[in-house]
Structure 1
Amino acid sequence: MDCCTPPLVNGFHHVAVLAPNLDYALEFYGVILGLSPLPLPDGLKGSVLWLDLGCGNQLHVMKGEPTPDGRAHFALDVGSAQEWRTYLTKHEVEFYEPDVQIAGKERIFITDPFGNLIELTEAPERR
C-alpha cells in the first residue's frame, strides 16, 4: 500500500438507527420485519439491539431520539416490493412510493415507529 491508496474495505457491516424504546423497536424490527436478534456483549445490554440482516450484515438500533431529515435511510434488499406493499397494508404499516423512479428497480419507503426512514428495494444485481 502506498501513501495515496486507502486500505481495502471488505464490504458493508452494519447501519445504526435510533429509537427511544428498544422493546418497541424489537417488536417492529423483529415481528413486523422478521429480523432476528443477535447476542450482545454484556456491557451493551439495554442500550442497543443488534439484528441480523443476513450475509453478515447487521442493523444496530441504539437507544435515543432520531432526528430524520427525510433523506438519511438504510435499504433492505427484498424479493418483491409488491409483496411488501400487500404485507405492509395488511399490517397497517404506511409505505411511500419514491419521488424518483429508477428503471428496473422497484422500491418503496417506510418509516419505523421512531421516524427512521427505510427503503425496501428489489436488488436484482445482488442475485
Structure 2
Amino acid sequence: MITGYDHVQVAIPAGGEDAARRFYAGLLAMREIAKPPALAVRGGCWFAAGDAMLHLGVEEPFAPARKAHPAFVVDDLDALHDVLTGAGHACVRTDGEIPGVRRFHTADPFGNRIELQQR
C-alpha cells in the first residue's frame, strides 16, 4: 500500500548541474542534498524544500519534459513569480482552473515544465 512518495525525478542534459543549482537552489531556494557516492558518479543533483524532494538525473539524449512536471506548493506565489520573471523566466498563470488554488507554470533552464501553486 502506498503511503506517500519519496521524490520526483526530472531529466537534465549532461553538464547541466551548475545551471540546475542556479535555478533550483538560487531562484527556488531549495537546498541541495548530497547524492550517495555510488549515484554521484552518474551526474545530476538532488534538491529538497519542506517535504518536496527533487532528483535531477542526466539523460542522453536529453529531451525536456514539456507536459509531465513536478508541482511545488509555495507560501508566496506572487513573490516567487516576481523572482522568476525578474530572472528572465516566462511564467504562465493558470489561476481559476482548480478551485482554491492559485498557480503558474514556468520552465527550468533546460525547458522542463515546473508548476508552482499556492492554496
The TM-score range, normalised by the shorter chain, is 0.7 to 0.9
Which whole-Å CA distance do the structure 2 matches of 1:100 and 1:62 have between them? 33
The structural deviation recorded for 1:31 is 0.8
1:12 maps to which residue? 5
Cα deviation code 1:37-89 (max 9, x no counterpart) = 1121112224121111223x310001121342x32111000113222222222
Identity %: 30
SS at match of 2:94: coil
Please, which moves more after superposition, 112-121 or 38-47? 38-47
Gaps of 5+ in 2: none
SS at match of 1:59: strand
SS at match of 2:111: coil
TM-score (norm 1): 0.79
The structural deviation recorded for 1:32 is 1.2
Q: Does 1:118 align with 2:114?
A: yes
Match of 1:52 among 44, 48, 51: 48
Q: Does 1:66 align with 2:59?
A: no
Gaps of 5+ in 1: 1-7
> RMSD value over aligned CA atoms?
1.8
Cα deviation code 1:6-35 (max 9, x no counterpart) = xx2121210001111112112211111111
Q: After the TM superposition, which segments of 4 or more aligned residues of structure 1 sit over 6 Å from their partners? A: none
Change (3 A) 1:54 1:99: closer
Larger gyration radius, structure 1 or structure 2? 1
Aligned residue pairs, count: 114
Q: Does 1:93 align with 2:86?
A: no
